[in-house]
Structure 1
Amino acid sequence: MKVGLIHATTTAIKPIEQAFQAEAPEIELLHFMDTSLLSLIESSGSLTPEIMRRFVVLLNMAADSNVDCIQLTCSAFNNITTFLQPLYSIKLFRSDEAMLDEALAYHRIGLISTVKETPEALITYLREKKPDCLIESLVDPGIIHLLFQGKKDEHDLKVKNMIREMDGQVDVIVLSQYSMEHVAHQIRTSVPILTAPLATVKRCLSYLQHHGS
């Protein structure tokens, strides 16, 4: 079976590949990427027609590659699946839905993001599923760019500081970007920390077992 992965940044590749290798190394992964998407959404602040068109190019390439499902890996673009799924017979998975479904088991949910546009996409999903949940959000726009610049230690320190600030104020902490997954293993907290890659892979595999070729 094959899974098409849609990326907007290179930082998502390693976390999702490691998760698939741990859970289902037999799955063939096909990568489709447009690294201009992040800068476009950061400059526009929303999903513009240009962004939608560029995203459709990636989806079309994946759909035409005989994959069994398509998995997004960048949370800032997750709401796009709502508009585009009806256009495709193949299943499109948000990058975060499995993780957020786990978060919905808690009442007070804390979101930590390194891309300004991400919280809106996550909050929309959470509110639709559980309107009465309490959501706290911390975002430090642009931290993800530290990883692009090779400043991993500085990135990790800033994320850990946000986690410490959130700890104790909520029942669960959600790390919104795949690129923060490794930080969860570097810090102890009084509440659970949820990350997306492994939960995403398990959701994807469950679908493939029932619908895959």
Structure 2
Amino acid sequence: MPRKLSHRFPLSDRDRQALLQERGLDVSHDTLGEWNVDFSPLSVDERRYREPRRGSRWYMDEGCPSIGGVRHWLWRAVDEHGAVLNVLLQEHRNTEAAKSFFDRLLGRGDVPELIHTDELWSDGAALRESLVLHGVEHVQVVSTARHNNPIEQSHRPTWRQERQQRGFRSRQRAQGFFELHARITNLHHPARSTVPALWRRHQQAAFTTWRETVWQAA
């Protein structure tokens, strides 16, 4: 449960330690980090298989978190519904990095009809070199035009969590956290509704799915 809370809400390691201590468990920072490394990939795999089919329009962007004081690039893609397709933390923002991310995105065999990117030339170069994506329409938008709004909105929960945890010290731990954070964000991403009952049913279904995937991963 502490892992779920830390990916659902902007909790720091101190917050999670306090929650566990209230339940009679004394856990260190290092142990919390190791849990993330050991169990996040299993939870990510179980959750990914349960997600609905991806949309046909993909939006890509890169954020710039600091890992252990070193600047990295967090590559992210979402569909037109705001669901996170994949994230990948890399040290570079060049064509090879873009190709690595496209390979990761295409791992499930889905191919979009349209890809929106910013004006980063590496994205266009990687698209031209991909045989699978040759027939996909590519639209480059100016960042200030806000046409990539779905991806901009998707970045926000990640940056809130990064600020709360005061950054990350390890690339491996950060990648595991970002992947599971994306899956949990998708799980709790309901359709917009002003009917409280519908929202509560969606949340209950999300918690049920989380418990099932945790047991499967264990």
TM-score (norm 1): 0.32
Q: Which has the larger radius of gyration?
A: 2
Give the TM-score normalised by the residue count of structure 2: 0.32
Query: Which structure is higher in RCO with an 8 Å CA cutoff and minimum separation 6?
Result: 2
